Amino acid sequence: MKIKQWLIVISVCLWWMSPLFAAQKVTLVTADWEPYVQDEEGYRGYVYEIVRAAFKQAGYQSVIEFLPWQQALQAIEQGQADAIFPKYLPIEPEAHLMYSQSFAGGPIVIYKRKDSSATFDYVKAVTQQDNPFTALQAYTIGVVEGYRYLPAFDQATQLTKRKVKDDRDNLHQLFQGQVDFIVIDQHTAIYLLENVLPEDYAQQLEFILPALAYQQLHIAFNKNNPQTKALLEAFNKGLTIIQQNGVLDQIIDRDAQFTGGQVV
């Protein structure tokens, strides 16, 4: 057989076999949650990069769609995607979700206006009450619809919670004096105040020490998907590898260059 004929045969074989070597796909949904995930061209946030890198290490191509958080939750519940991220570990096991190993998250804090007389002593409240957030009953607290913060806070149904669609709106309603406090991830608040919102927001708003808690982040997989076990194992394996080979640290260092912040 002539060389030209051999080349044609080899080309056909490679074309036929290429799907066997192509990366498998995993579909995920997320929401704009700076600095973790950003729906912007170019850099998409360090959690976005961690998820892609871990799956790539395990031989998967990540297809990620941005949706409002409530729609993202519905999409995963209805089986329209394999997984959703980033999520906190739930208070109780969820019938339709399985959670990955954890990766870097952030502190949950309460913000207030600097000129507000509203007060909340978290340390004192913890020692005096079964649910420390009972001390907030006299106030209105801003939250993002669909978010989970801390078990005790989420279960405090006696509180007046004013819901908005995202963290920007939450900071905005605090600045406008529509609520007394807001609960928010501190990394997110700092990023938005320094990079997105008007300068006077940062001048007028402050967080209360100490932080309520530090929350690790996870990917949540749809239990009803027959591929979930394989996807969960693949992500956990890939995450372990990038933690060990230094890729995860490189992603976090790169994030600090883009945002001027530091992941702790």
Is the pLDDT higher at 252 or at 79? 79
In CATH, what is the architecture of 106-215? 3-Layer(aba) Sandwich (3.40)
Per-residue pLDDT for 9 more than 60? no
Are 3-104+217-259 and 106-215 equal in CATH topology?
A: yes
Domain boundaries defined on the chain: 3-104+217-259, 106-215
Per-residue pLDDT at 203: 96
Per residue in 80-93, pLDDT (tens digit) is 999 999 999 887 77
Question: Residue 22: pLDDT band by 50, 70, 90 thresholds?
Answer: low
Contact 192, 167 (CB under 8 A): yes
Cα-atom radius of gyration of the chain, to the nearest Å? Answer: 22
CB 59 within 8 A of CB 20: no
Q: Would you say 114 and 205 are in contact if contact means Cβ atoms under 8 Å apart?
A: yes
With 70 as the cut, is the pLDDT of residue 241 above it? yes
Predicted pLDDT of residue 96:
87
Task: Report which secondary-structure segment, H or E, holds 75.
Answer: helix 69-77
According to CATH, the topology of domain 3-104+217-259 is D-Maltodextrin-Binding Protein; domain 2 (3.40.190)
User: Is pLDDT larger for residue 107 or for residue 5?
Assistant: 107
Q: Give residue 94's pLDDT.
A: 78
Does residue 262 register a pLDDT over 70?
Answer: no
**pLDDT over 50 (residue 193):** yes
* pLDDT at res. 67: 94
What's the pTM value of the predicted model, to 2 decimals?
0.79
pLDDT category at 255 given cuts 50, 70, 90 is low
Please give the average per-residue pLDDT across 151-172, as a whole number: 94
User: Which of 90-96's residues contact partners 24+ apart within 8 Å by CB, and which partners?
Assistant: 90/148, 91/148, 91/151, 91/154, 91/155, 94/220, 95/223, 96/222, 96/223, 96/224
Residue 18 has pLDDT above 50, yes or no: no
Mean pLDDT of 139-149: 93
Residue 1 has pLDDT above 60, yes or no: no
Beta bridge partners of 183: 110
Model confidence at 99, pLDDT cuts 50, 70, 90, reads very high
